[in-house]
A and B are shown apart, each in its own frame.
Chain A
């Protein structure tokens, strides 16, 4: 039995890697994508283009504007002199923020009144707008505190001392890059498995395979092993890049991470083979792969938190293997979560994997044309 499976696995590897283009497709793009996405996928903003419309000639307004120009988050693109200039600038997306300071700003401040200031923000991307506003508010808050200290305003009776655990500077790269490890592992294993049975069916070689002495279980293992091995290999490579290139801290144990990876690859290989054996043509296999991949990524909490989803959508996410793996990845990378606290994440993936593999094995014989 061992030799038969070995022969089948060898044949599967040959089918995957014999074609030079296929070899390229499996190994080169995922690594390139990790590098590009690792830099691209971030909620942190820098060099936000902003414009200033300052009607006030006093010292205080200049001080406020200087705090914006000095910040690495902001980059001044224009100085406006008329109110009418604001609309075309924002409409054309040339500035995301227009800081409008009224003519009486410095005078009002010196009299102890609130100075008129307005922030106009492009809300087309509401998330960018919300983050931008939080930056603006931070700058204004420090300006206020400094002004009160210098000019003896009212003292606030209580102040906030904020700290962020696990990620003190709130770098969104630390959140996203471990997520990309899961994302690319998912894509690679789907790539390897989702079309494999469909191709043999379309070409008719699957019928030949079925009349050989192979048992369905053996065919299943032979088909699953290449996905397993390639998935493991690439995940390792991606983890290395995440740690050594992107400098994301790896605080937990590698053993926990790899047990998680094992369960995850089991579930995605199972899904991929199930889709593949359900499809009669490669076109259908490709459609199935997308109908699986896209929801899987969207509902995993990779970019948008699961807690923000409506209740019934949250229930659906329990079927998503990536959801569990992301918890493991982020836990092990950032929080150093110990093995026993992640047990609830391991077994659902293993069950998803085993059920799908069993279904795939059943479909091998029971979906014939």
Chain B
């Protein structure tokens, strides 16, 4: 009964200052739209300079491969200097250079060198571009061999199978990861200030003289924001499936069960920040620092955790987002794989218990 009163009071507070509702529903929509459309690692239409010093039938057959590829937007140039200037000015990302003796060299035993220069500023894109150039080159070799009436046999021709995401669509893995980031933000933003606000305004002291227990205060804070957060989660899942066409191969109930665990951990962290600082300003600063960037960089959402140095990998274990990202990417793309879901869910339970437990301990009916 007392608990219900507290929850109702919290709901009124949410409804009167619409910023909480905005956090739960506006934030996921805005962020998913920006992320979903804005974040992509698939480079297409890469501007590339093709330097052909002496056009001939051979060079035309080679450059034709670039013109047909959807990965490239080629510009033909006559000399290397012009192309190098374009690379410096970031008008092109790579240069493919065929020397004037290309046609003659082709018929020599050593073969003709094709010079490829790529801008290494963005190393990841640079490597992707090199891979695409290699693809065009190999296709050209095959066409040449066919034209001569022989089959080009490479000793090992690798048959590549990419499981779970066969066309390597980066949106399929980014959008589930995003849900984890958005839920981290929602969880911390909703609760980071609520306890501190009661302390700052002196209403905490008023609460203390009433018969409510501190556990009831904590639960009273948790329940309304948990409901809001679940709403935000449902909205995010609906958008990823219907708007971004991400396949959901696992079951919906598992998604929501694990999301509830994660939400408890995220809200618990916000409550802990709030309880410990007792000051909205510092709590707000801490929330900005400890939520978004760590979840963005250390959760495995975009950067592979397995390739980080061991010390940094150790640090990633204290982030709830890390476990949730693993669960989300698996449940969305691979299905209900219990060997991934169970250990990560267990970690989430432990983190939720830790944050809520410590908040409960720090929250005493005592004034300083």
Contact = CB atoms under 8 A, between A and B. Distances in A.
Interface of A: 19, 21-22, 25-26, 29-30, 33, 36-37, 39-49, 64, 88, 90-93, 96, 109, 112-131, 133-134, 136-137, 140-141, 143-144, 147-148, 151, 153-168, 170-172, 174-175, 183, 187, 190-191, 194-195, 199, 202, 281-287, 289-291, 293-295, 297-299, 303-305, 307-310, 313, 330, 334-335, 341
A129 B42 CA distance: 12
Contact of B288 (A124, A172, A191, A202): A191
A161 B130 CA distance: 11
A158 B141 contact: yes
A126 B172 contact: yes
B76 interface: no
Contact of B307 (A47, A88, A304, A305): A47
A165 B37 contact: no
Contacts of B161: 118-121
A96 B339 CA distance: 15
A126 B169 contact: yes
Contacts of B150: 154
Interface in B121-169: 121-128, 130-131, 133-134, 137, 141, 144-145, 150, 152-166, 168-169
Contacts of A118: 158-161
Contacts of A335: 88, 121
9 contacts: A25-B282, A91-B339, A117-B157, A129-B168, A160-B114, A164-B130, A283-B19, A283-B280, A286-B193
A283 B193 contact: yes
Given A287-B23, A290-B185, 17 more contacts: A25-B289, A64-B156, A88-B339, A115-B155, A119-B158, A123-B333, A124-B334, A125-B329, A130-B41, A133-B162, A148-B155, A164-B117, A168-B120, A171-B123, A291-B27, A298-B39, A305-B122
A289 B163 contact: no
Interface stretch (B223-231, B254-262, B296-304): B296-304
A128 B164 contact: no
Nearest to B120: A167
Nearest to A295: B34
B200 to A, nearest CB: 8
B156 A140 contact: yes
Contacts of B123: 43-44, 164, 167, 170-172, 174-175
Interface string B289-322: 1101110111010111011110110011000000
B236 interface: no
A160 B133 contact: yes
A63 B27 CA distance: 54
Contacts of A159: 111-114
A13 to B, nearest CB: 14
Contact of B165 (A117, A124, A310): A124
Interface in B303-361: 303-304, 306-309, 311-312, 315-316, 326, 329-330, 333-334, 337, 339-340
Given A175-B122, A293-B288, A117 B117 contact: no
B279 interface: yes
A211 B128 CA distance: 60
Q: Which of A30, A123, A140 has the most CB of B within 10 A?
A: A123
A303 B299 CA distance: 14
Given A37-B293, A129-B162, A283-B193, A144 B155 contact: yes
Contacts of A308: 40-44
Contact of B159 (A33, A116, A163, A305): A116
Contacts of A123: 162-166, 168, 173, 333
Contacts of A289: 284, 288
A286 B196 CA distance: 14
Contact of A158 (B114, B121, B155, B339): B114
The 6 closest A-B pairs by CB, nearest first: A167-B120, A123-B165, A164-B120, A92-B339, A123-B162, A43-B124
B69 interface: no
A160 B158 contact: no
Nearest to B193: A283
B119 A164 contact: yes
A337 B126 CA distance: 19
B interface, over-half SS: helix
A164 B113 contact: no
B368 interface: no
B284 A282 contact: yes
B218 interface: no
B127 A170 contact: yes
Contacts of A130: 41, 128, 131, 168
Contacts of B88: 335
B293 A183 contact: yes
A297 B125 CA distance: 19
A121 B163 contact: yes
Nearest to A183: B293
A161 B133 CA distance: 11
Interface string B255-282: 0000000000000000000000101111
Contacts of B112: 157-159
Contacts of A119: 158-161
Nearest to B134: A160
Contact of A330 (B121, B152, B308, B326): B121
B219 interface: no
B280 A282 contact: yes
Given A114-B156, A187-B288, A287-B22, A167 B111 contact: no
B30 A307 contact: no
Nearest to B302: A303
A160 B116 contact: yes
B306 A114 contact: no
A158 B45 CA distance: 25
A9 to B, nearest CB: 18
Contact of B280 (A127, A194, A199, A290): A199
A265 B315 CA distance: 30
B187 to A, nearest CB: 12
A226 B100 CA distance: 60
A282 B40 CA distance: 34
A309 B308 contact: no
Interface string B85-115: 0011100000000000000011101011111
